[in-house]
Amino acid sequence: MGMFKRFQLWKINKHRTEAFSDGVFAIIVTLLVLEIKVPPLNDHTSSQELLDALVGLSPKIISWVASFFFISVMWVQHHNLFRMSEKIDYGMVWLNDIFLLFICFMPFPTALMGEYPHNRPAVLLFGLDVTIASLVQVWMYYYVAKNYLLSHYDQKNVMRNVKRSFMLAPMLLIVATAVSFVSLVLPYIIYLIVPFFFLLPFDEEKENL
């Protein structure tokens, strides 16, 4: 028996995995905003100084917004793919854990990019993290569609949507990371746009259950 087949031998409780994942997502979205600190002022009554300080915080706010929408969309997609799955196995649990590994790391590149918005390695690190996270999530999507898709979903259509997800998330994020060598503005635009492609689920059920 091949190693990958052995991963399917152990069936894991789907609801426990979902609960654990939801807890991780909740903690991470909370940690993201903690990197935005109240700016210190020399004159606590100066409106102009406060406005200037808030403008100085704008890169951190932009990176926080981008990360928040990325994580929110990934949580929605995570919820949908677990809902589409009849059950999960050992392999799916480990894919989920690897996915959460990169989700948990996201507050660091978010803070780094917000602190150094014109520093290419900071932008590259954020791009690398969200790209790998999206690749693993597409892999999970494929794993469910191939092995444990509920009967009221059309497998051929879902497989087409797996390919569509791959083109709209990882590939666009790779492009965003690549264009950072040409312009440091374009990656921010792409990072903000990509989540909007996934606001609604791609897959429709054959019947309302």
Domain count, the chain: 1
Q: What is the pLDDT of residues 46-56, one digit of tens each?
A: 888 888 888 88
What's the mean pLDDT when you consider all of the chain?
A: 84
- Any domain includes 38: yes
Domain range for 26: 10-198
Say if residues 67 and 33 touch (Cβ distance below 8 Å). Answer: no
- Of 55, 153, 136, the closest CA to residue 96 belongs to 136
Task: End-to-end CA distance of the chain: give it in Å, rounded.
Answer: 37
- Any domain includes 207: no
Q: Is the pLDDT of residue 85 over 80?
A: yes
- Any domain includes 76: yes
- Any domain includes 86: yes
Q: Is the pLDDT of residue 117 over 50?
A: yes
pLDDT at position 209, please? 44
The domain that holds 106 is classified in CATH as 1.20.1410
CA 109, 110, 116, 119 torsion-angle sign: positive
- Any domain includes 204: no
- Any domain includes 208: no
Q: If pLDDT is split at 50, 70 and 90, which confidence band does 199 have?
A: confident
Average pLDDT over residues 30-47: 82
Q: Is the pLDDT of residue 44 over 90?
A: no
Q: If pLDDT is split at 50, 70 and 90, which confidence band does 170 have?
A: confident
Average pLDDT over residues 140-150: 90
- Any domain includes 179: yes
Q: What's the pTM? A: 0.84
Q: If pLDDT is split at 50, 70 and 90, which confidence band does 129 have?
A: very high
